[in-house]
C-alpha cells in the first residue's frame, strides 16, 4: 500500500485580471446559491476504492498561456501556479515558503477544494483540515460551540468523536467564556484561536495551515507551534505555509520554495531557507506604490513607499557595522484627522525579531500627534555601531490606536557587513563576532579601587 498522502501533478491555476461577466452570466437567487453550496462538495469530491479524494482540472481546452509564470499574459490572464508537482508522504511535515504572490496560498486553496485547478490535478488520501484564513469554514451566525460540531461533521467525524475532543478544543482556544456567542461577534484573534484549535484537535489525517499564526498574540503563537510539533509526532501529514523561517526549520522535515508560481527548490528546510534568503539578497532596498488606489492600506491610510537609506539619503542595501542606517516610510493619510503609528519590525533570516521601533512618542498624548489629510514621511534612524553583521529584514506596519491599516512583510531588506576595523566596537577582537541580535557601542567606565591587595 502506498504511503503517499498528497500527490500533486502538473498543477496550474490561472486567474482573469479584473472582473468578467459573460453574456450568459446572471445573478442567482438565494435558493439557487444554497442549492449550489450543498451540491458543490458532491461535485468536487470523487471517492475511489482506496479512500483517495481527487481533484482534477477541467478538461484541457485551448487556453491562453503566459510565457512568464506569475506575470499577466497579453490577453488579461495571470498564472498564479504553473506546472507544480510534488509528493508528500504520510506523517511528513512539509514547509512551503516564498515571497508574497509566489502562489503559496493559491496552492493550499486548490488542495482544500476551495478553488479548481486550471490544469493538472491533486490527490489527497484521508480527511483534510484547513486553516487558511482567520475563521475559515466558520458560519458567522452560529456560536463557537455549533461551529466546532459543524467543522467536525464536515471532516466526517461522529458526534461522539467530537464530544471526546470538545473540552480540549475549548481549553486550548481560551474562548470558553464566549463559546455560546455567535462567531460574528468574535475578534479576529478569538476566531483564529478557535479555528486553529478545531483544525489541530479534530484529528484530520492531513492538516493544511497558511500564515495565520501571526494574528494571535505571542503566547498563543508559541502554543500553536508546540501543538503543531505534537501533531507531527503523532504521524499526521502537515503542509505549513509561513514567513517564519525559524518555525519552518524547527517543525518541518522538508521544504519547498515557490517563486512566481513554480517550484524553485524541493530539499531539506535549511537548504531551501538558504536559497530563499539568497533570492532576498537580490531585492532592492526600496518598494514604491505610486498609484494610491492600488497601494496597500484602507480608507484611512495607505502606503506609498518604504526605503533603506544611507548617510547621504540614497537607497542602499549594503552597510558596514559602523554605518548609520535609515528606514523611511511614505504614506497617505486619507481621513482627517488621524493619529497614525508607523512601526518597523526588524528580524533576522530565521524570522526572529531583533527589535521593534515605532514613531509614537511616549511623552506626548495621542491627541497631539493627529495628522490632517495629506502625504507624510516618517524615518527611523539607526545609529552606527548598533547592528551586528547579518541580513536584516524589515516589516512595515501602519496602524492607529485600535486598527491595523496595513502590514507589509519583508517590505525591504539590507545587509550589514563587518570590515574588521579595530577602531570599531570589536577593537582588537579578531575572531568571528558572536551571533547576537545587535552590537551596540555603549558607555563604559573603569576605576581603580582604593583598596590595596592583601
Q: pLDDT digits over 202-251, tens only?
A: 777 888 888 655 555 566 767 777 777 777 778 889 898 887 777 788 88
- Say yes or no to pLDDT of 148 above 60: yes
State the CATH number of the domain containing residue 70: 3.40.50.300
Kindly state whether residues 208 and 245 are assigned to the same domain. Answer: yes
What is the reported pTM?
Answer: 0.57
Kindly state whether residues 135 and 249 are assigned to the same domain. Answer: yes
Cα(183)–Cα(186) distance, integer angstroms: 5
Q: How many domains does the chain have?
A: 2
Starting from the edge strand earliest in sequence, which strands make up the sheet with 286-288, in order? 286-288, 301-309, 325-333, 374-382
Buried b (16+ CB within 10 A) or exposed e, 252-281: bebbbbbbbbbbbbeeebeebbebbbeeee
In terms of pLDDT, which residue wins out, 43 or 201?
201
Kindly state whether residues 107 and 218 are assigned to the same domain. Answer: yes
| Residue 338: DSSP 8-state | B
Q: Are 8 and 84 in contact (CB under 8 A)?
A: yes
Q: How confident is the model at residue 25 (pLDDT cuts 50, 70, 90)?
A: very low
Q: Show which of 232, 247, 280 is a domain's final residue.
A: 280
- Say yes or no to pLDDT of 26 above 80: no
In terms of pLDDT, which residue wins out, 200 or 329?
329
Kindly state whether residues 341 and 247 are assigned to the same domain. Answer: no
- Rg of the Cα atoms in the chain: 25
Q: Cβ neighbours of residue 385 under 8 Å, at least 6 residues apart? A: 321, 322, 424, 425, 439, 440, 441
Q: How confident is the model at residue 37 (pLDDT cuts 50, 70, 90)?
A: low
Q: Show which of 258, 280, 302 is a domain's final residue.
A: 280
Q: Choose among 384, 417, 388: nearest CA to 317.
A: 417
Lowest mean pLDDT among 174-188, 376-390, 429-443: 429-443
Kindly state whether residues 167 and 305 are assigned to the same domain. Answer: no
Kindly state whether residues 191 and 307 are assigned to the same domain. Answer: no
Q: Show which of 222, 255, 280 is a domain's final residue.
A: 280
pLDDT of res. 31 = 47
Kindly state whether residues 303 and 379 are assigned to the same domain. Answer: yes
Q: Choose among 63, 62, 57: nearest CA to 16.
A: 63
* N-terminal to C-terminal alpha carbon distance within the chain: 80
Kindly state whether residues 323 and 259 are assigned to the same domain. Answer: no
Q: Are 82 and 262 in contact (CB under 8 A)?
A: yes
Please give the residue range of the domain that contains residue 187.
4-20+41-280
Kindly state whether residues 329 and 378 are assigned to the same domain. Answer: yes
Kindly state whether residues 136 and 182 are assigned to the same domain. Answer: yes
Q: Are 74 and 68 in contact (CB under 8 A)?
A: no
Q: CB count, 10 Å around CB of 339?
A: 15
pLDDT of res. 81 = 93
Amino acid at each position: 500500500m502506498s504511503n503517499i498522502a498528497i500527490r500533486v501533478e502538473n498543477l496550474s491555476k490561472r486567474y482573469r485580471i479584473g472582473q468578467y461577466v459573460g453574456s450568459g452570466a446572471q445573478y442567482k437567487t438565494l435558493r439557487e446559491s444554497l442549492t449550489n453550496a450543498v451540491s458543490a462538495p458532491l461535485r468536487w469530491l470523487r471517492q475511489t476504492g482506496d479512500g483517495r479524494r481527487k481533484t482534477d482540472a477541467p478538461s484541457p481546452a485551448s487556453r491562453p498561456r503566459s510565457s512568464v509564470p506569475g506575470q499577466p499574459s497579453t490577453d488579461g490572464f495571470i498564472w498564479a501556479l504553473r506546472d507544480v508537482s510534488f509528493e508528500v508522504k504520510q506523517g511528513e511535515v512539509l514547509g512551503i515558503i516564498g515571497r508574497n504572490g509566489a502562489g503559496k496560498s493559491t496552492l493550499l486553496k486548490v488542495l482544500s477544494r476551495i478553488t479548481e485547478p486550471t490544469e493538472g490535478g491533486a490527490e489527497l488520501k484521508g480527511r483534510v483540515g484547513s486553516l487558511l484564513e482567520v475563521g475559515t469554514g466558520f458560519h458567522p451566525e452560529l456560536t463557537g460551540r455549533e461551529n466546532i460540531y459543524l467543522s467536525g461533521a464536515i471532516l466526517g467525524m461522529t458526534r461522539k468523536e467530537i464530544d471526546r475532543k470538545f473540552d480540549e478544543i475549548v481549553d486550548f482556544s481560551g474562548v470558553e467564556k464566549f463559546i455560546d456567542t455567535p462567531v460574528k461577534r468574535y475578534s479576529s484573534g478569538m476566531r483564529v484561536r478557535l479555528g486553529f484549535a478545531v483544525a489541530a484537535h479534530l484529528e484530520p489525517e492531513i492538516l493544511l495551515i497558511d500564515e495565520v499564526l501571526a494574528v494571535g498574540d505571542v503566547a498563543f503563537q508559541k502554543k500553536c507551534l508546540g501543538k503543531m510539533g505534537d501533531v507531527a509526532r503523532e504521524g499526521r501529514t502537515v503542509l505549513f505555509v509561513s514567513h517564519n523561517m525559524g518555525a519552518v526549520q524547527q517543525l518541518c522535515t522538508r521544504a519547498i520554495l515557490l517563486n512566481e508560481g513554480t517550484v524553485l527548490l524541493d530539499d531539506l528546510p535549511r537548504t531551501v531557507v538558504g536559497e530563499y534568503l539568497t533570492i532576498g539578497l537580490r531585492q532592492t532596498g526600496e518598494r514604491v506604490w505610486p498609484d494610491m488606489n492600488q497601494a496597500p492600506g484602507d480608507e484611512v491610510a495607505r502606503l506609498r513607499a518604504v526605503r533603506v537609506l544611507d548617510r547621504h539619503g540614497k537607497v542602499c542595501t549594503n552597510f558596514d557595522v559602523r554605518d548609520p542606517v535609515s528606514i523611511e516610510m511614505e504614506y497617505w493619510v486619507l481621513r482627517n484627522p488621524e493619529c497614525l503609528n508607523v512601526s518597523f519590525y526588524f528580524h533576522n533570516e530565521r524570522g526572529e525579531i531583533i527589535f521593534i521601533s515605532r514613531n509614537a512618542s511616549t511623552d506626548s498624548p495621542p491627541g497631539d500627534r493627529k495628522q490632517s489629510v495629506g502625504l507624510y514621511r516618517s524615518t527611523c534612524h539607526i545609529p552606527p555601531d548598533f547592528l551586528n553583521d547579518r541580513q536584516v529584514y524589515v516589516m512595515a506596519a501602519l496602524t492607529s490606536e485600535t486598527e491595523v491599516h496595513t502590514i507589509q512583510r519583508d517590505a525591504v531588506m539590507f545587509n550589514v557587513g563587518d570590515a574588521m576595523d579595530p577602531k570599531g566596537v570589536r577593537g582588537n577582537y579578531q575572531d568571528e563576532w558572536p551571533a547576537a541580535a545587535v552590537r551596540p557601542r555603549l558607555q563604559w567606565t573603569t576605576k581603580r579601587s582604593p583598596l590595596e591587595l592583601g
